Amino acid sequence: MKADNKRMLVGRERKPADTVVRVNGIAIGEGTFTVMAGPCAVESLEQTLETARRVKKAGAHLLRGGAFKPRTSPYSFQGLGSKGLEILTRAKKETGLAIVTEVMSAEDVPMVALVADILQIGARNMQNFNLLDACGRQSKPVLLKRGLMSTIEELLLSAEYILSRGNPHVILCERGVRTFEKYTRNTLDLSIVPVVKKLSHLPIIVDPSHAAGIRDYVPALSRASVAVGADGLLVEVHPRPERAKCDGSQSLTPDGFDRLMKTLRPIARAVGKKLR
């Protein structure tokens, strides 16, 4: 890291031991492989509960789902907002799965933190410094996604904002970066995993769904993420992807997610990680 690594709170030199983020009895980054799965957007109670039940049965550890959705087009589905948070609360009570959901503004942090077990900062907000500051001043773990065209150094400096405000519970997430390539939605930069492991003590997971943009490629990228040493995955799953209001083309079906989970376990064992 070009910044002063000896002074940086995220730096390996400052803290040689790996940080372990604990959520709902799950240790993220302690030789385990953690899977967060669910729909891109919370669309209804039925859709969310159906997905939550299926991903839990397949072995997912946390439920992902967006109540607030930042979209490129202002005319696209923006999420259910507070109603979506209520649905996620219901899903958590029924399944016991911890919740990962996105927060989009500093003003919304207290409200979302009442429901979320992990606050997600999306790629478009990676350098929203007011939001980073607000998430750093509360105690819930934060999942920080790499920006669409951000360097590793910029990602780590964004994490530094959170740590410097008092919250050490940060999980980094690679979700692909924008390049000239058009056959996938983004280009998955798996080299970030060993680089981050060398530079920082923070855990790092991979979002193969946003990287690929096409469900056919998600399983292969997921397996590669395990092999390269990532601490977990963030995978989109929808019971009826063809009807999804957001990112259906990159969402696995529940059956597809079942098959994926079965292929991940032997790879996790081979690289010395446990997948419960």
- Map out the domains of the chain as residue ranges: 21-267
CA distances in angstroms from 9 to 37, 45, 216, 245, listed in the order given: 29, 40, 39, 39
Cα 124 versus chain centre, distance: 14
Across residues 234-255, what is the average pLDDT? 95
Is residue 183 a contact partner of residue 212, using CB atoms and an 8 Å limit?
A: no
- 212, two tokens: 């690929």
pTM of the model: 0.94
Percentage of the chain with pLDDT > 90? 88
At 76-135, the pLDDT tens digits run 666 678 899 999 999 999 999 999 999 999 999 999 999 999 999 999 999 999 999 999
Q: Judge whether residue 70 has pLDDT over 90.
A: no
Least confident range from 23-27, 88-92, 209-213: namely 23-27
Virtual torsion, Cα 99, 219, 256, 186, nearest 10 deg = 70
At 188-208, the pLDDT tens digits run 999 999 999 999 999 999 999
CA distances in angstroms from 249 to 116, 213, 224, 234, 235, listed in the order given: 26, 7, 20, 16, 13
What is the model's pLDDT at position 3? Answer: 56
At 125, is the secondary structure helix, strand, or coil? Answer: helix
State the first-to-last Cα distance of the chain, in angstroms, to the nearest integer: 33
Across residues 211-218, what is the average pLDDT? 97
What's the rounded Cα separation, in Å, for the pair 105 and 226? Answer: 32
The CATH fold assigned to 21-267 is: TIM Barrel (3.20.20)
